[in-house]
Amino acid sequence: MSKQRVLIKIGGNALGRDDTTVADLVSLQKQGYLPVVVHGGGKTITEWLERMDVPTRFVEGLRVTDAGSIDVVVAVLAGLMNKRLVAEINAAGGRAVGLCGADGGMLRARVKDPELGLVGAISSVDAALLETLLGDGYILVIAPIGVLHDSQGAGTLLNINADSVAAEIGAAVGASQFVFLTDVPGVRGRDGEIVPELSAEEARGLIAEGVIAGGMIPKVEACLEAVQRVPLAVILDGRRPHALRDCMAGQQVGTRIG
Ligand SMILES: Nc1ncnc2c1ncn2[C@@H]1O[C@H](COP(=O)(O)OP(=O)(O)OP(=O)(O)O)[C@@H](O)[C@H]1O
Ligand SMILES: [Mg+2]
């Protein structure tokens, strides 16, 4: 039987101080899973933009990205964060390769909304390179950078929300599970409490009411897309020790959407 592919999204602030996610990824690989990781970099990008004196602004959870900030976004996401994660996985005994959407022409994108600047919406995924590497058993670590495919400006790098990339890459590789590690224990409902289970309909309602806001919007939307193909997607606190291991073992953690 072919190995199960699991899509794991790691938020930019989801790794705890004594992080166990890397160790959990390596154990999953040893157990015979094929983990496909997409990482964000929200907080680190903001720090670097501040260091470089580039102002930053969000609209509905998406970072407005101008010509000045895209260089920092690419350098931090596809460089620093991607390579650190790959190095940590390999140092922990795993076998990982780091990529971004430019590699192998993986993520073709268009400008999502001119008001957001160089922010991409995915047009298509070419998973050929991913298949080759998965065939060799590598853990894939993917930074959410896409490439503009319009006749004008083709080849321009675009910043794409990592949750949206996770949904598309997970679908393209036929992931059987989707796990979103973030910096909150799950999705908060109207009363501010974490909701253990959300139907697609309830999730849409909470977005419409503004209870689900900011960066949680693209994340819940990514889950809604994922559950069109798999039974459920889970959002949980990646800073909690062994959050990933426990979730994969079937423990009820965070918010399950399905
Ligand atoms: N209803 C809600 N329940 C929980 N968190 C919410 C809700 N509405 C908005 N949020 C916000 O969404 C944030 C998570 O999204 P955010 O984009 O900041 O992180 P991430 O996606 O894990 O990381 P990155 O964007 O770097 O990949 C939470 O920290 C919280 O502030
Ligand atoms: Mg986010």
Q: Which atom of ligand 1 is nearest to the CA of 162?
A: 27
Ligand 1: residue of 38, 182, 209, 235 to mutate (most ligand atoms within 8 A of CB) is 182
**Catalytic annotation, pick one of 41, 98, 117, 219:** 219
Q: How far is CA 129 from CA 73, 122, 153, in A?
A: 23, 17, 24
- Could you report the per-residue pLDDT of 3-49, keeping only the tens digit for each? 899 999 999 888 866 789 999 999 999 999 999 999 999 889 999 99
Which tokens go with 32?
A: 């015979």
Residue 2 has pLDDT above 90, yes or no: no
Pairing of strands 62-63, 58-59: antiparallel
Cα–Cα–Cα angle for 195, 196, 202, rounded to 5 degrees: 55
Query: For this structure, is 98 an active site residue?
Result: no
Query: For this structure, is 112 an active site residue?
Result: no
CATH of the domain at 193: 3.40.1160.10
Cα 78 → chain centroid: 13
* DSSP secondary structure letter of residue 52: T
**Catalytic annotation, pick one of 11, 12, 101, 215:** 12
Cα–Cα–Cα angle for 99, 125, 57, rounded to 5 degrees: 70
- Could you report the per-residue pLDDT of 178-223, keeping only the tens digit for each? 999 999 999 999 999 999 999 999 999 999 999 999 999 999 999 9
Answer yes or no: is the C-beta of 38 below 6 A from any ligand 1 atom. Answer: no
Q: What is the pTM of this model?
A: 0.96
Kindly list the strands in the beta sheet with 34-39, ordered across the sheet, starting from the edge strand earlier in the chain: 96-100, 139-143, 34-39, 5-10, 177-182, 233-237, 255-257, 197-198
When pLDDT is cut at 50, 70 and 90, the band that residue 57 belongs to is: confident
Answer yes or no: is the C-beta of 144 below 6 A from any ligand 1 atom. Answer: no
Residue 158 has pLDDT above 80, yes or no: yes
59: which residues sit within 8 A by CB, 6+ positions away? 115, 116
Q: How many domains, in total, are found in the chain? A: 1
- Could you report the per-residue pLDDT of 64-105, keeping only the tens digit for each? 999 889 999 999 999 999 999 999 999 999 999 999 999 999
Distance (Å) from CA 225 to ligand 2 centroid? 16
What are 97's strand-pairing partners?
140
Q: Are 122 and 165 in contact (CB under 8 A)?
A: yes
Answer yes or no: is the C-beta of 12 below 6 A from any ligand 1 atom. Answer: yes
Cα–Cα distance measured from residue 188 to residue 162, given in angstroms and rounded to the nearest whole number: 21
Answer yes or no: is the C-beta of 125 below 6 A from any ligand 1 atom. Answer: no
Strand ranges (DSSP E) for 52-176?
Answer: 58-59, 62-63, 96-100, 107-111, 120-125, 139-143, 145-148, 157-159
258: which residues sit within 8 A by CB, 6+ positions away? 197, 199, 200, 227, 231, 232, 233
Residue 1 has pLDDT above 70, yes or no: no
Distance (Å) from CA 206 to ligand 2 centroid? 17
Give pLDDT, residue 26: 98
> Domain containing 76: what range?
5-257
Give pLDDT, residue 118: 96
What are 10's strand-pairing partners?
39, 181
Ligand in closest contact with the CA of 185: 1
Ligand 1: residue of 13, 44, 184, 212 to mutate (most ligand atoms within 8 A of CB) is 184
Please classify residue 32 by burial: count the beta carbons closer than 10 Å to its beta carbon, then call 0-12 exposed, 13-18 middle and 19+ buried. exposed
Query: For this structure, is 42 an active site residue?
Result: yes
Ligand 1: residue of 46, 183, 220 to mutate (most ligand atoms within 8 A of CB) is 183
Query: For this structure, is 163 an active site residue?
Result: yes
Cα–Cα distance measured from residue 135 to residue 122, given in angstroms and rounded to the nearest whole number: 24
Give pLDDT, residue 146: 98
Residue 128 has pLDDT above 60, yes or no: yes
